[in-house]
Chains A and B, each alone.
Chain A
Amino acid sequence: MVKTETLFKKASKEEEQIVLSFLLKEFDTKVREIMNNKSIFIKQRGVKEVYIVNKELKDTIEFIRNNSLELTKNIFLAGYPIGIIHEKQFQLEITGGFYFNKYMEKRLIIKTKQFLYGKDIVLANVNEYTLPFKKGNWLAVYGRGKKDSGLFYGVGKALVDSNELSSAPPNTVIIKGYKHRPFDLGWYLRFEK
């Protein structure tokens, strides 16, 4: 893939629509609260990275742009990254999981740390889930080992409906582990190495 790099800029109407429709689907009425005084920004570095930027930072970015386009090109990050736009779809990433986890009510509580190493979550490793979920819903993954009770592990897209689980075999994959695009917290360790 050609690594195109663009300015850190406000999302176009179309890009904004893609992200907002994702947020509406996942968080429904809470979107108003989440997006209050916030804007969506895009930085393309090969993929289109999506950022949530508050009003004060947005004004500062504009101020910088008005005085030096050169410096605007040097913006590496502003606000908080939440995911990417890929083939006109928004894809949540682990950073987005951090950002939204207090709003994510569909939670999967797991027994092992395998997910942190990019491995799949199979039914046998699931302790419980907080609310019924449908295939394609985004779930927040939490640990409940002896030592990590209640700590956030990452996010993932459900591959099955929760009502299928009672009759499913233990090796049924519920969330796929991703080694390349970060969905789990272990990504930080892999990324920094």
Chain B
Amino acid sequence: MQLLKLEEQRGYQLNKILFFYFSIPSSNYLIVKNLLLRLFVYLFMLDEISYSDVYDLGNKLGYLPYMIQRFVELIGEKETIKLLKFNEKKLKTVIRLNNLKTQFSEIDFLLLQKKIIFKKIRDIPEAREIVFSPISIGATIEYLNGYYMVQGKNSMFPPLILDPKPHEMIGDFAAAPGGKTTHIAQLMKNKGKIISIERSKRRCTSLYSNIVRMGVQNTIVLNTDARAIVKSKIKFDKILLDAPCSGSGVIINDPSRKTSKKEEDLAIYSKLQTELLDAAIQTLKEGGTIVYCTCSLEPEENELVIDRVLKDNDLKLVDIPFSFERGVTKFANYSFSPELKKAVRLYPHKTNGEGFFIAKMVKESGKN
């Protein structure tokens, strides 16, 4: 039904263009006529994309066939083509300014002195997109002094959505290399407490160096499986679970993902993610908030995980105040709670950044 409506709208647009085309006298406005013709052909062509076109492109770009099939199921042929093409580009370098070290205006000034050209990013006051830099942005003295972190733009949304306050007890349940832990500390003005948990010892080393470089002093790093934190009996005000995932939203950064994960792997991730989220819920105070996110586009790692925990716990999803696409409520044989429309999906080609799924939940008080 929805699809028919869209087709109807496109047909209407095509007709409108044709009408304009013929109503302009040929002797005049040749350029305008030419442009209209191109637009017509473009819209017409878009209509013509078939599954086999997408499949061929996916094949040419080196994707496993199951991935293409799933993308098409999720967003349709046209959007899949756009996504695949976008994944062949390079993301713009983005940095997060760290006001635990000095004010944003001072860092802007130092960057400008180095002839680094940057622009601000909507909705994220601490982010700067690097337009041009004559030097390597990850090796300046300012970087070494922790004045900024080189970090994907979209990965700044989960901490902003978590909205941690100074004096709260925050859990970061999958923390290395610490882009989000250090962002959370900055939002808390280095006050309160953060427990950052990371299972890999090797990755704890980069978490450590980022925490120290960024001047974060309110954090305890635990090198353990986050499922073990229940034993500590700590009750958190807010928890961020940036779960380990299959990474299908960040193929632009890691093209090996086109072939590195099999379809069966998704179920393994989904199980681990559900268990981690269960542990997070157990350790959350009543009235506390959890932000769950992944850099995967797969519903099994996202909506399915949330749908499961909603069924077993007194949790409710809350709206996310940014205008991104909404979570899906149907995929393949699954159908999820309509509440999942409150979660958001950041598609790489639509947001010009890494792919993310983000859901925000509150544990209801008086129950559990």
Contacts and interface: CB of A to CB of B under 8 A. Distances in A.
Interface of A: 52, 54, 56-57, 60-61, 63-64, 67-68, 70-71, 74-81, 95, 98, 113, 116, 143, 147-148, 151-153, 185-186, 188-189, 191-192
B234 A76 contact: no
18 contacts: A54-B218, A57-B193, A57-B218, A61-B220, A64-B232, A64-B234, A67-B232, A68-B233, A71-B231, A76-B223, A77-B207, A77-B220, A116-B141, A116-B144, A151-B145, A152-B145, A153-B141, A192-B209
Contacts of A64: 220, 232, 234
Interface in B274-322: none
B231 A77 contact: no
Given A56-B193, A74-B222, A189-B139, A81 B212 contact: yes
A78 B145 contact: no
Nearest to B169: A60
Contact of A60 (B110, B113, B195): B195
Interface residues of B, number: 39
Contacts of B232: 63-64, 67-68, 71
Given A70-B228, A75-B222, A76-B223, 5 more contacts: A68-B232, A71-B224, A74-B228, A77-B207, A98-B215
A192 B201 CA distance: 14
A189 B138 CA distance: 9
Nearest to A95: B212
Contact of A78 (B192, B221, B231): B221
A78 B219 CA distance: 6
A-B pairs with the 7 shortest C-beta distances?
Answer: A185-B144, A68-B231, A74-B224, A77-B221, A76-B221, A76-B223, A78-B220
B199 to A, nearest CB: 10
Contact of B223 (A68, A74, A185): A74
A60 B193 contact: yes
Contacts of A68: 231-233
Interface of B: 110, 113-114, 139, 141-142, 144-146, 169, 192-193, 195, 198, 201, 204-209, 211-213, 215, 217-224, 228-229, 231-234
Contact of A76 (B144, B208, B229): B208
A74 B232 CA distance: 12
Contacts of A148: 141
Nearest to A63: B234
A153 B169 CA distance: 33
Contacts of B220: 57, 60-61, 64, 75, 77-78
A59 B187 CA distance: 22
Contacts of A116: 141, 144
A78 B113 CA distance: 36
Nearest to A51: B217
B213 A188 contact: yes
Nearest to B114: A147
A57 B188 CA distance: 14
A80 B217 contact: yes
A56 B192 CA distance: 7
Given A61-B220, A98-B215, A71 B209 contact: no
Of the listed residues A52, A63, A68, A95, the one surrounded by the most CB atoms of chain B closer than 10 A to its CB is A68
A63 B283 CA distance: 14
A112 B354 CA distance: 38
A143 B234 CA distance: 44
Given A64-B232, A64-B234, A148-B141, A188 B209 contact: yes
Nearest to B115: A147
Nearest to B213: A188
A22 B125 CA distance: 41
Contact of A185 (B145, B198, B224): B145
A116 B144 CA distance: 10
Contacts of B209: 188, 191-192
A185 to B, nearest CB: 4
